[in-house]
Structure 1
Amino acid sequence: MASGVPSNVHVSKHPCLRAKLSQLRSKSTNARETKSLVHDIALLLGTEALSDLPLETAGTDESPIGYEYSYESIDCTKITLVPILRSGLGMVEAIQSILPDPVSIHHLGLFREKLSLQPVEYYNNLPQSETSAAKLAIIVDPIIATGQTAVAAIQSLKDWGVEKIIVLGVLGAVPGVTRAAEEWPEGTQVWVGGIDEELTDRGMIKPGLGDIGDRLFLTIGK
């Protein structure tokens, strides 16, 4: 694991996740396997990252053999899931399956301009009213490389009025996770399945996973 990252960056130590990450890194992993591995890693990572969600008692219910028990649940009405298009879509189903009730999904379309590596927003369906802002926003994006895309997403959600942000990434690079974590440190936690030290001159994580969006959607060579 890399050293020197901010304290609000968390790198999974789960052995099953780390083994699946090694499988995902391989150039021989096909699109169907890539989709499955991204889902599984997101499931394991999300379970870790959401382990401190507040649990509340919502009355009582009755078991099939007639005994009363306290009904515990999580208020999902103030949680929203924010996938970064395209590749963030590969993590959505896993996080939905962890939560006990449906949550809203607000998509952000961001891409890195090839020369400057700066994020360009092309789609944003966040509500305009602050009164409808979620308390917790969960950003899902498999790769946190330069961190510029994550920073732009954090800025948009902070402007919307969220109280807390959790950023979930399959793999991050030290420069990127540091930049994301430092954008709004008091309100943001960054969770990644693994972390690499370096970026290439094209802003790709090294050794990394390649372009995970292209691998998920078979658009390599576009």
Structure 2
Amino acid sequence: MALPSNVHLSQHPCLRAKLSRLRSKQTHVREAKILVHEIATILGCEALASTLTAVDGPKPEEVSLVPILRSGLGMVEAIQALLPEPVPVHHLGLYREPSTLEPVEYYNNLPNHIGPSGAAQSPSKLAVILDPVIATGGTCAAAIQTLREWGARRVLVLSVIGASDGVARAANEWPEGVDVWLAGLDAELTATGMVKPGLGDIGDRLFLTVGK
């Protein structure tokens, strides 16, 4: 399917090689964490170079990171390391209700954060969603809407892999305010809403809880 114009699929050869390793069932769960970090670093370089150098683009101090719990935590360190100064990290907890596959929010810490001077600041101009997998797109779309209501002027989504329909759903949630950057794209979902062939349960792989 044709993807929306605000979706960007990386063609970086090193990234694609690392994604191939991450897809493999033979890749040890410990290595998966390293690969997600490395993929996030390459993808973040491409996405932030485009976003932060755009006309009227936000300055680094106007950026915040928003990992989607829990798998998004695996991308935070990589993106923090790319920025010249530390930025706030706000967490969103969302899960998919098993019968409907629709998102349910269970955690949100998006108050007006306190800056270095101790004064309350307005919402970040650029909120960067970190979510390794976009499947149905419902969770990502819900996060985008939450950040829009919070007051973010733009949202940048960084994801390791997504399913075509889900990525389109997320990108179309706020077309003029969102850019989605992906390392890989798959065409299908399983009956249980997992990307096919995808990466398996990336949260379990990142936190070594496979078979829990």
> What's the TM-score once normalised by structure 1's chain length?
0.88
User: Per the alignment, in what secondary structure is the counterpart of residue 77 of structure 1?
Assistant: helix
Deviations 1:105-135 (A, max 9, x none): 0000111111111111111000168962100
- Distance (Å, rounded) in 2 between the aligned partners of 1:114 and 1:216: 21
Relative to its length, the structure with more strand (as a share) is: 1
What is the count of residue pairs matched by the alignment?
203
Alignment RMSD, CA only? 1.8
The answer on 1:205 being equivalent to 2:200 is no
Change (3 A) 1:128 1:51: closer
Between 1:45-54 and 1:14-23, the stretch displaced more is: 45-54
Q: Unaligned regions of 5+ residues in structure 1, if any?
A: 56-73
The answer on 1:125 being equivalent to 2:125 is no
Identify the residue that residue 139 of structure 1 maps to in structure 2: 129
Letter in 2 for 1:75: K
Between 1:198-207 and 1:130-139, the stretch displaced more is: 130-139
Q: After superposition, where does 1:144-155 map in structure 2 within 5 Å?
A: 144-155=134-145
Identify the residue that residue 97 of structure 1 maps to in structure 2: 81
Q: After superposition, where does 1:104-115 map in structure 2 within 5 Å?
A: 104-115=88-99
Moved runs in structure 1, 4+ residues, more than 6 A?
A: none
Identify the residue that residue 117 of structure 2 maps to in structure 1: none
Deviations 1:70-96 (A, max 9, x none): xxxx83221000000000000000100
> What's the TM-score once normalised by structure 2's chain length?
0.92
Q: After superposition, where does 1:1-222 map in structure 2 within 5 Å?
A: 3-52=1-50, 53-54=52-53, 75-127=59-111, 132-222=122-212
Between 1:172-181 and 1:128-137, the stretch displaced more is: 128-137
Between 1:125-134 and 1:89-98, the stretch displaced more is: 125-134
- Distance (Å, rounded) in 2 between the aligned partners of 1:44 and 1:131: 30
- Distance (Å, rounded) in 2 between the aligned partners of 1:26 and 1:214: 15
- Distance (Å, rounded) in 2 between the aligned partners of 1:94 and 1:128: 24
Of structures 1 and 2, the larger Rg is shown by 1
Letter in 1 for 2:174: W
Give the deviation of 1:31 after TM superposition. Answer: 2.1
Q: Unaligned regions of 5+ residues in structure 2, if any?
A: 114-119
Q: State the percentage of identical aligned residues.
A: 64
- Distance (Å, rounded) in 1 between the aligned partners of 2:80 and 2:104: 27
